[in-house]
Structure 1
């Protein structure tokens, strides 16, 4: 009797471990379904994993992070600069997302070229060069 109970316990633990493994390795996080704190942490973690040699386009970022909190586009001649902002740190719990609560990702013709504070500076420089 005890042997049978132990077998059921072991089987239950094995099934549970298998389900946990599958969820951790194959379940894709959906930022749209997250609470704001979880989404903020998810955005920060995703952006922190980007490397200087990362080849990523705007569609890939949108697929991974969902809709940006803020976005701006600037076009001159045949070059399009787009900066998208994702919230990564809460500054003031007022229900309004501001640029200082976000990390910017700068795209040139749809390709990621910079992120972080450097992205904002480069975007502002591109704005000033056209004036």
Structure 2
């Protein structure tokens, strides 16, 4: 019985060091995928020009994190949300971590919080 206890205690002490060495990505790793995507989206948003087509933006930036579409004053309005900044480390992208790109009749008419608020 004492021999089993000593073997178990020795294994527990030995394996404890292994747990520290094993693991996946951590916040201190160079850069995770969401950070790369966020940086890319920031760079693209900083170079936007009004009147670009919805399809042109989708080709450039890929699928949005969120999207909305509705009719206002007889015009079709589409809003694409792309992650551009970090708010909370919860593993989820939320709209408050995104920049809104506003399209009317498939043309870019504005982006950012103020443009979204004016809808």
Instruction: Tell me the TM-score normalized by structure 1.
Output: 0.62
Write the distance in 2 (CA, Å) between the matches of 1:120 and 1:89.
16
Write the distance in 2 (CA, Å) between the matches of 1:84 and 1:49.
16
The structure with more radius of gyration: 2
Q: What's the counterpart of residue 63 of structure 1? A: 59
Structure 1 residue 58: deviation in Å? Answer: 0.6
Write the distance in 1 (CA, Å) between the matches of 2:37 and 2:61.
9
Q: What's the counterpart of residue 75 of structure 2? A: 79
Bigger share in helix = 1
Write the distance in 1 (CA, Å) between the matches of 2:70 and 2:86.
27
Write the distance in 2 (CA, Å) between the matches of 1:76 and 1:43.
27
Write the distance in 2 (CA, Å) between the matches of 1:69 and 1:103.
10
- Alpha carbons of structure 1 residues 77 and 91: separation in structure 2 relative to 1, 3 Å: closer
SS of 2:90 mapped into structure 1: coil
Write the distance in 2 (CA, Å) between the matches of 1:50 and 1:112.
9
SS of 2:68 mapped into structure 1: strand
Q: What's the counterpart of residue 92 of structure 2? A: 96
Write the distance in 2 (CA, Å) between the matches of 1:108 and 1:80.
6
Write the distance in 2 (CA, Å) between the matches of 1:99 and 1:77.
25
Structure 1 residue 90: deviation in Å? Answer: 1.2
Q: What's the counterpart of residue 36 of structure 2? A: 38
After superposing the two structures, state which structure 1 stretch, 91-100 or 65-74, moved more: 91-100
Q: What's the counterpart of residue 102 of structure 2? A: 106
Q: Which runs of 5+ in 2 are unaligned?
A: 1-31
Paired residues in the alignment total: 88
